[in-house]
Amino acid sequence: MAQKYQINLVNENTTARLAQCVAQFIKPPFIIYLSGDLGAAKTTFSRYFIQARGHSGPVKSPTFTIVEPYELGDECIFHFDCYRIQDPEELEYLGIRDYITSESICLIEWPERAANVLPPCDIHAMFRVITSTERSVIWHAVSAQGQIVLQQLKNQWEDK
């Protein structure tokens, strides 16, 4: 079973393809942490992921609202950005526990900023800036479900 897998995102189109690929293997409940510096492609990945799951409108960065919800049929995607969180308890006030249900997928940018109050993730994706047009991402499977998804991703990605 795959535990760790690195992918080079040579341009934004590759990031879009990756998000579409990951999106087809994930079923709720599922939590992805997205780490990496500003501009590392966390929001860009999330945007393509949310659209790949059926959302047709825009996806804005939740930097100021901390969380943006997307209702897609029976499932709900919650896109978090914890960058501006000063005190992890802010997430408690936002009702973080209500977001984590059997029908939800959570994408959480800057999880480090709220480490103590966040539920554990299934997969932790670490993005890195390589050049102005290139990024890389390392996927770490954390849960058993995360390992299954990572293995499916790896198989499909290497197959192309």
Residues within the interface to ligand ADP (CB under 6 A): 9, 11-12, 15, 36, 38-44, 61, 109, 127, 133-135
Residue 113 sits in the site that holds Mg ion (CB under 5 A): no
**Interacting residue with Mg ion among 16, 18, 35, 42 (CB under 5 A):** 42
Q: Spell out the SS3 assignment of the chain.
A: CCCEEEEEECCHHHHHHHHHHHHCCCCCCEEEEEECCCCCCHHHHHHHHHHHCCCCCCCCCCCCCCEEEEEECCEEEEEEECCCCCCCHHHHHCCHHHHCCCCEEEEEECHHHHCCCCCCCCEEEEEEECCCCCEEEEEEECCHHHHHHHHHHHHHHHHC
Which CB sits closer to ligand ADP, 14 or 151? Answer: 14
With CB cut-offs between 5 and 8 Å by kind, which of Mg ion, ligand ADP, none does residue 41 bind?
ligand ADP
**Interacting residue with Mg ion among 9, 19, 26, 43 (CB under 5 A):** 43
Minimum separation from the CB atom of position 12 to ligand ADP (A): 4
